[in-house]
Structure 1
């Protein structure tokens, strides 16, 4: 068993970056003072001294000129409007996301807090950070550079891959396997028992959920989201999948690589979702549904059957005035009668 450190670990504080350091190793072009120091990122307006911002549309030209930021990431056509240092790129939003990530205060000094509980035969890389009140089960393996925040529970025989992060009070059930550079946000529960029941003479009986959950590399699971373990085969989340807050994925599901799932979506058991899909917020997907690669499903849609071809799919009405909605609802309820009347008219012609 890896022994806790004698002292409590402390959060590190990010330090400012020179622009030249931010763009080192890239093909980004800097116009202006590359030695200016940047302490963080900010919105375009009002902007903030010693901070970095971005803009990407020609319509933002006046805002670019007014911004008080010292550094801006801009396309070439906006660069002349900014008075400070410009990082020129044709993909400002993407470059901003990559460079601004340097300022996230995610670093932790290596060590195991004395108030953590570590199970027998657990292995923890010396570069990992284990916070107070973390519980790590027997035979778990925690990889290099992993950060586990206060109160998280890591079950028996769990693997957490290098560079991954497990948020406060998140729970990883027994035998869950997490790939490299994953982000499990606070309160997420991965590997809980799936919702499997069978009718017996005395009522419903639980079906044993004997498998687990496998997450690929670079997966994100949002706060308070849940992913149930499989019954006989693992629930599998592919590389690069991004799952928003308060999403539920039931047992035996398989989510393809680089799919994005927005908040409050529920995916019933044994679904297979392809690669590169985009699923909006509040979507409900029925059990045993298969969805092709490259499908987009708009918010609040209901998906009870398979989707076999890529494209954009919707099943909801947009908001309208309540009086208009009631009139349209009345028409909707009368559709069978209207269809019957039309059929009689056509038959008499």
Structure 2
């Protein structure tokens, strides 16, 4: 459930982010980085002890840290990031590059829910000044400097002088939230409304590679109820009653398929599968009864699916009766329901 205010209203995304733990913040930044539209071959969370100044790394090649990559430094504090917190992070990445642990990132971004303090924000917008300030820190009495061996510090200083400090920037949190809004995780984190579901469209021509299991079971139902001569889809299309019934069932199936595709791009992984499981459990007792014929079983299960008291799934606001009936055919396509014959342990809800 998305966080709410005492009055029951949804909390604005920024307020939600303010109360994240450091680990939650890294997960959020990871999701955001994957949605940036950059040609990344992989994005990984690398934060932790001895992380070398890398929280989230985004790789532009299979060479990983030895190739071209971007660094996203996740900082979650109760106020804006300041210079004394930022320059040691820059020090870490330059040190590790100087020591040959990885190549210099293409870009290095501080990502903090409260952004940067005004002074640091101005400095990050002035790369020459940023370099000057950083080089001055290398001659300071800061603990990290005093603990660095002289030969290593000399290499760090030499590399810093050669480095283009324009790679170091901070991200605007409003822009970060906007980009994250494109992800399937966004609605689960913030409870924002789902985007509009596209229309189902025209049912495509029959495709045995996608539909053979549930349609094959329907053909068996038609042999029981309409004609023993119905063996193929073409046979069904030649029987007026079977043709009309099959057309409706395929409409239901593709309505559910369109919901599956919508869920794939709009909500967290597993959400649609959770809805399928709920429908399966909801219709199972109806499915498991004894029936005089397979058409009665099929009709009873489909009718039951449209009256289920489902809750707790964000897709329900987009789900119509034809979707739940179509989900039943998806379940038949996966052999979790069988329209003809007695049910067995293989059909259980487990």
- Bin for the TM-score computed over the shorter chain: under 0.3
Max Rg structure: 2
For normalisation by structure 2, the TM-score amounts to 0.22
Relative to its length, the structure with more helix (as a share) is 2
Relative to its length, the structure with more strand (as a share) is 1
For normalisation by structure 1, the TM-score amounts to 0.22
